[in-house]
Structure 1
Amino acid sequence: MTSSKNDKNTRTTGRPTLNEVARLAGVSPITASRALRGIDTVATELVEKVRKAASELNYVVNPAARALASAQSHSVVVLVPSLSNLLFIDTLEAIHQVLRPKGFEVLIGNFHYSRDEEENLLRNYMAYQPRGLLLTGFDRTESARRMVEASNVPCVYMMDLNPEAGLNCVGFSQHNAGETAAEHLISRGRKRLAYIGAQLDQRTLMRGEGFRRGLEKAGLYDPKLEVLTPRPSSVGLGGELFLQLMHSHPDVDAIFFGNDDLAHGALLEAMRCGIRIPEQVAVMGFNDLPASAHMVPRLSSISTPREAIGRRAAEQLLTLMAGNSVAKPVVDMGFELKVREST
């Protein structure tokens, strides 16, 4: 059977179409589309038929064409500052588990803690006419903010809270987490307390501000004991900054690190140099990464609900994309102080 150029079931490129997949599988194009998108309302046996037909025809979904055909894509854009940090890997996995069964494709962008790079990613992904946006924090360029606002695309912000902005957000108070770290170390009788932060994204700075607030309340804040560097956070950097601080201020008896990987480096360097933890200096981290409970000594840390944040943010976005408002736009997922041997 031949087809004319005007046959909507074929492409002049010769590539297989969704309609051809549907015919081979013996289902409607709508059912074929839903099956390939992973929507869980399609019967399992039909999904298998459609996937087998797509495989036989070497059919590949064209998301841009799908968006043009329906005037609406099935993609959700998620922008995170890092893919090397387990914090965001856990969050992304939770997001995927919520959105994928509903037929949405997750487009992930890594902006490497660069506001300009995030703006470029947003501009590029908007060409896909995404159904929704999941963005990390509130620190971005003015152009990016205007772009999100003008797009009218439903958006949920993750990891931080801003009750006054009138935005949908799911996270916890970075300030309160930092202050909790200070209160814990002070309760251990520590008097010379330092903060070491790297990368210097907005959340790291807010953590430090909260820690400073806790120290100021107790009359223990010393600006000379605040070590901040824009260098990327890492285990190696943590060890390096720990030694520098101990050499310049040997009377320091407690250190709060803005990330667990920095604290891990400090514990390893302390072991190497014979500095006793916590007898000489207490060490505390942030995020409670899996390795923290297995360090020597075991690391005290602020545990953040990264998986729960991803899940709740994705669920909130589903509600918004359905055209409904959420009952609670600002969701505080809280955090937990994990006290272990290092403090």
Structure 2
Amino acid sequence: MSTSSRKSRASGRVTLDDVALSAGVSRITASRALRGERSVGADLVARVAAAAAALGYVPDPAARALASARSHTVVVLIPLLSNNLFVDLLEAVQRALHAARYQVLIGVTHYEAEEEEALLASYLAYRPAGLLVTGLDRTARCRDMIARSGVPCVHLMETSNDPALYCVGFSQVDAGRCMTDHLLQTGRRRIAFAAAQLDPRVMQRLAGYREALLAAGCYDPALEWQSVQPSSLALGGQMLEQYMARHPDVDAIFFCNDDLAQGGLLTALRLGIQVPSQLAIAGFNDLAGSDQMWPPLTTIRTPRVEIGDSAATMLLQLMRGEMVEAHSVDVGWQLVQRQST
């Protein structure tokens, strides 16, 4: 009995050796038959396929990649799966890559640099065909691992002027400035910024908010609230309630994410705060339900599906060795004005 056969019996996993033995062919012939190589006759292909089906053999993509130095797996690293922002993006990526016969392997970093390092080190060992990573802010070790791997990589949600980086996203700073300018144009001057999670893109929105208020001469750092807690409806409600208690002259709150803003709107309704006549409320991302709030939420609509589609298309071009027209693609964003401002 061969070592591999003993291992397959010990693990319960059917191996290529088992298929070859059942079909009465060599291991290499079984492998070539399952790959559909023309050098193997039709009768042998049928015999090996029948043996594989009878045994319930499932090819090991990791072993195949290591053996051939090729893979049909794309690694996608995102911060959270609980955020609809990334769910929408992932669905678009999955559709595009599945159509090109690539499998998607998802890693969740939880906004932790150490987790991203560990995931990259683990996944790169399987020699993926490509990488999709969220944002541009990562450790020197992560950047080094990506560069040394030689695996094509596209960055999501942000843009860059660095010609060595491939990116699809939009300017978070410009979007943050635009929303603040909108609130200023409605006559608001005591505009607060409520932030949670504090990932790099939230801080870029904060930078846009500051730029707009400094230009208007009404920036007050006391009206910024930066919380490291995860973004949620409950936290948004707490933020609004405490803002009104500590800064009753606040006339607008720009929440860094829609779930915070939705929580703020619900709390305003409970407290009898008139929105928008007494207090304007704005969000970011145009998440599900924002148009159904009362009043409907003014927000920045971010093109998650477009980012996923464009990033997957760019990565497919890189994996095929094709020329990419632009290394950085700005898909833009849209101010959606509703009744909350």
TM-score in terms of structure 1 length = 0.87
- 1:146 aligned onto 2:144: yes
Out of 5, 8, 14, the position equivalent to 1:13 is: 8
Please state whether the residue corresponding to 2:225 is helix, strand or coil: strand
Instruction: Give the letter for the 1:29 counterpart.
Output: L
RMSD, aligned CA: 2.6
Residue matched to 2:34? 29
Does the 8 Å contact 2:8/2:15 carry over to 1?
no
- 1:254 aligned onto 2:261: no
Does the 8 Å contact 1:198/1:228 carry over to 2?
yes
Residue matched to 1:85? 83
Alpha-carbon distance change, 55 to 281 in structure 1, aligned in 2, over 3 angstroms: farther
Alpha-carbon distance change, 277 to 63 in structure 1, aligned in 2, over 3 angstroms: same
Does the 8 Å contact 2:163/2:327 carry over to 1?
no
Aligned pairs (5 A) from 1:212-223: 212-223=210-221
Residue matched to 1:316? 314
Task: Give 1:164 shift.
Answer: 3.0
User: Partners of 1:120 and 1:12 in 2: how far apart?
Assistant: 28
**Unaligned ranges ≥5, structure 2:** 24-31, 38-48
Residue matched to 2:67? 69
Residue matched to 2:130? 132
- Count of residue correspondences: 321
Task: Give 1:16 shift.
Answer: 3.7
Out of 204, 207, 214, the position equivalent to 2:205 is: 207
After superposing the two structures, state which structure 1 stretch, 253-262 or 64-73, moved more: 64-73
Residue matched to 2:271? 273
After superposing the two structures, state which structure 1 stretch, 191-200 or 163-172, moved more: 163-172
User: Partners of 1:138 and 1:107 in 2: how far apart?
Assistant: 20
Residue matched to 1:193? 191
User: Partners of 1:54 and 1:342 in 2: how far apart?
Assistant: 61
User: Partners of 1:54 and 1:136 in 2: how far apart?
Assistant: 39
Does the 8 Å contact 1:157/1:170 carry over to 2?
yes
User: Partners of 2:134 and 2:51 in 1: how far apart?
Assistant: 39
After superposing the two structures, state which structure 1 stretch, 268-277 or 160-169, moved more: 160-169
Task: Give 1:125 shift.
Answer: 0.7
Instruction: Give the letter for the 2:337 counterpart.
Output: V
Does the 8 Å contact 1:18/1:29 carry over to 2?
no
Task: Give 1:332 shift.
Answer: 0.2
Task: Give 1:29 shift.
Answer: 1.7
Does the 8 Å contact 1:179/1:213 carry over to 2?
yes
Residue matched to 1:47? none
Out of 291, 295, 309, the position equivalent to 1:297 is: 295
Does the 8 Å contact 1:115/1:139 carry over to 2?
no
After superposing the two structures, state which structure 1 stretch, 54-63 or 139-148, moved more: 54-63
Instruction: Give the letter for the 1:144 counterpart.
Output: C
Alpha-carbon distance change, 53 to 316 in structure 1, aligned in 2, over 3 angstroms: farther
Out of 155, 159, 181, the position equivalent to 1:161 is: 159
